[in-house]
Amino acid sequence: MELTILVDNHTSAGNCLISEHGLSFFIEEGDTKLLFDCGSSDAFIKNAYNMQIDLANVTDIILSHGHFDHIGGFLRLQALYQKFKFAGIQFDEKKLIAHPNVFKPEDGEIYSGENFKLSLEEVQKFFNLILTKSPRYITSKLVYLGEIPIKFGTVKNDYPLDETALAYKSKDGLVIFSGCSHSGVKNIMEHAKYVTSENRINTIIGGLYLINRTEDEINELGEYLKSQNVKRIFPCHCTDLEAKILLSKYVKVEDVCTGKKYNWE
């Protein structure tokens, strides 16, 4: 399985890619080519083009939750597919998988976020829309985790009920892909273990929602990660530098930026 960071808050010198406050991953697992979130704008589309990733070949799209920095670029993706169709470019229908609350019905439209409106009819022109709270295997190793139960700790007031994540069953344990972790890293990890019946967690990559958190909160998470024998984490997007430094006392912290690629077996 290969992961490419299409968009993150940061980029590296010399790669000529766009960064923004947003997140978008491109995941290849066998014949599945999956887009996990769409960032805030069309930056992920421009970066995919520059990295020679053909978004016409995407088979599945997962939206982690309805915040604008994760689905703001979805309208741009819809527009891209409309251009493909107008130009006569053939492409297969794509599955769009998300929690039902990501798209909120308002007067016959699906809605999420300020100025983000698109009719259900328009969405279904290009996507096989699958709205579900339940876990769903995308491949034999890659699973959409569905709604994350809150069993441990407390969550912030802006916690979206529609948040989900992905887990990949690698030979060395689970690799968890998170959008923002509003529901709490521990809740996501425990739910991933429950869904997959795999207790080993090797890697976590994505937003950890650790901005302006107290040292006690971050240290508590670090102790938990250490107790779970997590091998490494790739915190990005909504994780600040102080949190990364504190967590590095407990687990190996890897750098993440737009354009990087990672592989797991």
Sorted by where each starts, the structural domains of the chain and their CATH numbers stand as 2-263 (3.60.15.10)
* Beta-strand relationship, 104-106 and 60-62: unpaired
**CA angle 166–167–171, rounded 5-degree value:** 155
pLDDT at residue 124, as a whole number: 80
Q: Is 109 exposed, middle or buried (0-12, 13-18, 19+ CB in 10 A)?
A: middle
What's the pTM?
Answer: 0.93
Question: Is the predicted pLDDT of residue 192 greater than 90, yes or no?
Answer: yes
Q: How does DSSP classify residue 67?
A: -
The fraction of the chain above a pLDDT of 70, given in percent, is 91
Question: Is the predicted pLDDT of residue 174 greater than 50, yes or no?
Answer: yes
Phi first, then psi: give them for residue 71, nearest 5 degrees.
-125, 0
| Segment 188-216 mean pLDDT | 96
Question: Is the predicted pLDDT of residue 117 greater than 70, yes or no?
Answer: no
Phi first, then psi: give them for residue 30, nearest 5 degrees.
65, -130
Least confident of 6-10, 153-157, 228-232: 153-157
Burial readout 16-53 (b: 16 or more C-beta within 10 A, e: otherwise): ebbbbebbbbbbbbeebbbbbbbbbbbbbbebbeebeb
- For helices 74-86 and 43-50, the axis angle rounded to 10 degrees is 60
Question: Is the predicted pLDDT of residue 107 greater than 50, yes or no?
Answer: no
**CA angle 194–208–180, rounded 5-degree value:** 85
| Segment 160-185 mean pLDDT | 95
